[in-house]
Structures are given as C-alpha cells and as structure tokens.
Structure 1
Amino acid sequence: MDLTFSPEDEAFRKEVQAFIAENFTDDLRDKVKRTKNGYLDKEDHLKWQKALYKKGWAAPNWPVEYGGPGFTPTQKYIFSVEMGKADVPHTIPFGITMCAPVIMKYGSQEQKDYFLPKILATDIWFCQGYSEPGAGSDLASLQCKAENKGDHYLVNGTKIWTSVAQHADWIFCLVRTSNEGKPQEGISFLLIDMKTPGITVEPIVCLDGTPAPHQEVNQVFFDDVKVPIENRIGEENKGWTYAKYLLEFERGNAYSPGLYHALAEIKEIAAEQEMDGKPLIEDPEFAAKIADYEAQIKAMEFTELRIFSALSAGKNVGPESSLLKCRGTELQQRGTELKLEATGIYVNPFVEDALLNTNEPDIGPDYAKTVAPYYFSVRKTSIFAGSNEVQRNIMAKAVLGL
C-alpha cells in the first residue's frame, strides 16, 4: 500500500488545516474541551456545521449530484485525519451520515427534493428512533405501532436512548405496521416531524452526570401521533431492509483519527503527571501501555484504509462495518482508561457540569474536570449501534460462515 501523498494531496491538507484554523474558534475550542460527552449546545453545533456547508464540505461521503464535495478517497482520508487531530466538534450524524443515504437509495423523488438539501445545510436536524425499552440489539422485537389510516399512520409507543432528541426537528423511526410473519417482515420506516402533536421528549441522565438540557440521550413517547403516508420511506413492511442499509453507515466510520488525538492527550498528561518524582511517561510499565495502545491504533488505521479503499471502488461497507465498530469502540474505551490512570487522584472531583461557570476554584489541572465523566460516558460505545456481542455474531455468520 503506497502511503506517499502527492503535492496536490498535501495542498489539500493545508487547505483543511487553514479552514480549521479560521472556523474552529477559541470559544468553540474551549467548549469542546469542557464537554463531558462530546455534545455542545445546538447553536454551537450549527455554527460549525454551517461553516462546513458554506465551504462545501458538510457531507464528504455524499455523491456530487446531491451536494457532496467530490473528494477522492485520499482526500476523504486526509479530511478525517485533520478533523480528528484538531478535535473539532463532531458532525451530528443522524441526518447527513445515516438518514440521507437511505433517502438517496430508497426515497421518492419528492422526499429527495425536500429533505436532502435541508439535511445538507443543517436546516433539518434528525434524530434516530430505533431502540425501545424491550428492543435494543434485538431490534426486530420493536413494538412501537403505526396503524395505517389511509392517508396517514397513527403512531403509538416509545423510543429510548434517542441522542439529541431535545434538539431534533425530525426523527427517522422504525415502527411496527404488521404482526404477521417474521418480526422483521412487519416493520416500516417513517420520517416524523418532531413538532407533531402527541410527541413528548424526556431526558435520561447518564453516568457522566450531564444534566438537561445538555444530556445526550432521551426517551421519546408517541401518543396518537399522525404521520402522513407520504412520509414513509419505500414500501410498507419493508423497513427492515432500509434499517440494515442505514446501520452500515452508522457502524462504518473511521475511528483512528480520534484515537490518535486521544493518544496525544494521554502522552501530554503522562508527561505532566509525576510518579516517584519523575514524569509518568518515563515509567517503564506505563510507557509500555502507551506503546501497545499506539500499535493497536496503527493496526486499526490500516484496517480502515483497506476497507475504505474497497468503498472507493463502489462497494458497500457490509459486515466489515461490524469489525470497525467492535474494534474502534474497544480502543476508544481503552484510551479513556489510560487517560484516567494517567490523571491519577485528580479525577476524583466529579464536576456537576463542566460547561457551566462556577466560583469554586479548580482542583487539579483544568483537563482533569472531564476525564472521569468522559470515561463513564464512553462505557456506552460498545453497546450502542448494536452491542459488540451482537456484532461478533454478525461477523461469525457473514464473514466466517459459522
């Protein structure tokens, strides 16, 4: 594999770096450092995503015909690496990364014309209505019901672990439209306006302790919610097909740029913290842990490059997305464990909300405020988007033929 970048690629890298320097303002940078779960206020996320849209870079993986930038595979890689290194606000993925590809492939022309430009410009913010209290990794067990009333559906039920639902304009939702046949055969895919009467959003406070309205996840309740028939994607009872297609995009993301950023932070902390009168990074045991972590990230990076080169040839991610999800989330968690270990006793004060100003003096270094909360927040990554145990079953079946 040739990893030499051409002069044109290096010029593109400098263009990305210049964009980040101009648009990732000190204010945004400070807020990103102080968030405990990776989420900012909607206004701040919009500020960043609107800047990407103005530049033409809001949707790196979209086809040019729908507003994509036309990046080469190498440019996509450079773009993701530079964004990861700078630790910019992450793009809310539910519209641009997940729902939009489904609309592109299975939506009507009217749906494409209405939703895609608005998703690209972040004029519509989606959330994801998949999991339910009794249907998480076993998604086919969902019971949120949609009755076909001719010109509309009547939706009743609940969705849980719905990220940023408190800010969303729309929700793409899997609903049960039939109880006949296999559970997967009675599911439909609806786009629902969150302003529709009968929708209630309740916050869920997680282990990171982030209170409303900054919480990451919510429970959404539907009580006789009317949804126009034209808001259904594709055919009735075929939603399982569309859901599986979407999950390839939810799970098939690049992890290594963010992991390299985490590695750099761990090294910085270990160089500052002392053990037996010397910097922790000079301790042979901890230095070995860092070296092992770096080697694992490098292996992850090359795996991603192999998979993404196949994508550039027009292939879907397929079951390899499960591999990326498993390994990437495990390494994310390992990074938070090393950062927790490096920070030492200063992780003990659990700040109620690091985004709020306080008159209380800081205890320990400024970076220590979010180390423990973020460690707890990242415990979820091996569970959401289909637990890693389920992903291993998928790989065993689809890749190994077991």
Structure 2
Amino acid sequence: MPAIRTITSNPDLQAFIDGLSGEEFVTIDTEFIRETTYWPHLCLVQLAGSNEAVLVDPLAPGIDLKPLNDLFQSEITCVFHAGRQDLEIFHNLFHSLPRHVADTQIMAMVCGHGDQVGYERLVEHLCDKKIDKSQRFTDWARRPLNDAQRRYALADVTHLREIYAKLHEELSHQKRWDWLLREHEKLIDLANYRHEPSNAWQRLRLRDSNEKHLPAIMALAEFREKKAQERNVPRNRVFKDEALLQIAMARPRSKEELYSLRSIKQQGLDGRLIEELIGILDSDLDSRQGPVLKKSPKGKKPETMISMLKLLLKIASEQHGVAARLLATSEEIDEFARGRPGPEPDDWRYELFWGMAEGFRSGELGLSWDSKKNDVRIFSPNLKQHLAQD
C-alpha cells in the first residue's frame, strides 16, 4: 500500500497546487470539529488530482492555506460531496467561494440515485467498493493521526474522482446539465455563507403570535449572534432559543425579573451579559419596524391534499428518475396545499412536478387506480405533457 503524503509546509503545498494546473477537476473534502465552537475548526484538508492524493494539515505550525484559494479561483472544477459545510469553511477563510463547483450529492439526486444520497452508498453503488467506517468518530484535532485515520480521510477524495466521472457521464447521457447548473447556483449563493447577526432571527421557529414581539426577538437574536461570534461558542451557549423568546415576551426590566424566567433558571446566564440585555430591553424597541411574518393559513391542515401531493411527487420522481426531495421539499408541499403558489413555470421543476401539482389542486388532474397495470393512473388529457403514463 503506497505511503500517504501529508503536507505540512508552505513550499510543499504550493508545489502540489502548481502541479494541478492541467487538471479538469480536483476532488476536495475537509475534516473539522464544531461541537463547542461557533466557527468550524478546520483540522484537515484532503485533495486528489489525477496523479496524486494528499492530506494538508492546516494545524501545522506556520502553514498558509492561500494556495488553496489560488486553486479555487482557477478554471479547475472543485468537486465536493455534500459540500455546503466545506464551502462554509473556505468562505470563512478566504471570503469567497471556488469559481467552479460540483457537488456529487446534488449530481446523484439529479440522476435519480435517491434523496441526499450518502458518500458511502455512492462508493458501493458506483465504485463497487466498501469504505471502512471505523475511524468516523476520530478527533481530527489530535496529532499525530495514525495510518488508519489518514487512509480513511484520503478515501473521501480518491473514490470521489470515480464517482464524479460516472455521474458526469450519466448527466451527459440524460441531458440534465441545465437542471444541475440551476441547483449548483443555489449552492454557491453567497447569502448561504454570510453570518449576518441582523438576520439571526430568521433561524428561529416563530408562530403568528410572536409577531407583536418581533422587534424584541430580532434585537435579542442579533445580540446573541454577536456574542456567539465574538466568543466563538455555539449560540445556544449564550442562551437557548426558548430563553430568547421568553425574554422577548416578558421584557424583564431588572436582574431579578430576568432570573424569574423558567428558561433562565434552568440554563443560567453569564452575569456579564445581564446589563447589556437589560439595556436592549429598555431601549425603544417598539419603534423598530420589523418584517411581517408569513402567516399560516387559517383552518384545518389539509392532510388529505398533502398526502395526495406527496403521492403525485413520488410518481413524478420515479417517472423522471429524479430525487423527490430535489423536486419539492416537505415545506413546499405543505405551503402549496394551504393555497400558496408553487415555483414559477421557468423553474426546471415545474415541468416535472409543479405543473401537475397545480393541475391537481385546481381539479384539472386526477388520480385513479389502474387494475390492469396495478398502478396509479393520472387521467387528465390536458396535462399529458407533464407526465405521460406508460
């Protein structure tokens, strides 16, 4: 078994990146830990070109990862699997994203290999190999890494080259590149990777009844996000969502009132935050103009409509060989069943599913059981162009 090279110096990293100049694509993965921090702590970078795969140790003394960004800004396609967290790490480091990105999980979904298909499954299905997962719970911040850990890490990019090549061929054969490009545009939207404290309230699960408290909720969420970023701790270490909402609704004016809240009693609160919190709550929050929350439609949740739409989605997914989750999320189905509009006709998913969904909701399309074929039949001559039945 060939020795695994770990790059720990700037000259070696620069030389390896320079050697990739003629590549069409490079596969990339990272190992990181985040359980106790706000920002992910990068512990290892794995890279594979056509001739060599290496590990890069970002914890090595004095190493500068800038050559990685030179790679990202080149014409080489950077291939990840389920790469959102990897891209977040590199955005934090370089304040930019690779120019050309491919995500094999998205590619696999477009090709019909399942919803959010995992790397291990693709390795088995497309490469006919198995991955030893015994090292999956490694503490990647510890040094030195043993041979088994290094082999495990490197396998995340070596098999990925074969996976990418096969999915690339499938996409070309199925002529689905346009669908993939639209999904990749969503992946590399910079808004996904900006941690703006002023937008932190959007992470919260809010009810209609929270709207009158929204200015306070927004101010407290922004305060908590800033503190979490400054201290590099998870936001719930500052105070939990439940505490944030209780504080916003109760608007305590003193330390005693603050500590009378159930969630604060249970979690506790850093005493250094109390004065700032009271100051926020004492400010003229009601003069702040908050956005209007998206209202939940009144009345009973349309369970039957949701079930029928999910059945229609399953049919469309199987008919077109595209992962159902890529065509419609549960949230989109739920909102559509309650009367909200679906994607516009220029969305690639409209032709495959959402056009049919609109027809079903308006009563122009129906479902019945075909006893001869032992399958569901869609009976609407006006919408045959959306899903022709065999």
TM-score normalized by the length of structure 1: 0.25
Higher relative contact order (CA 8 A, sep 6+): 1
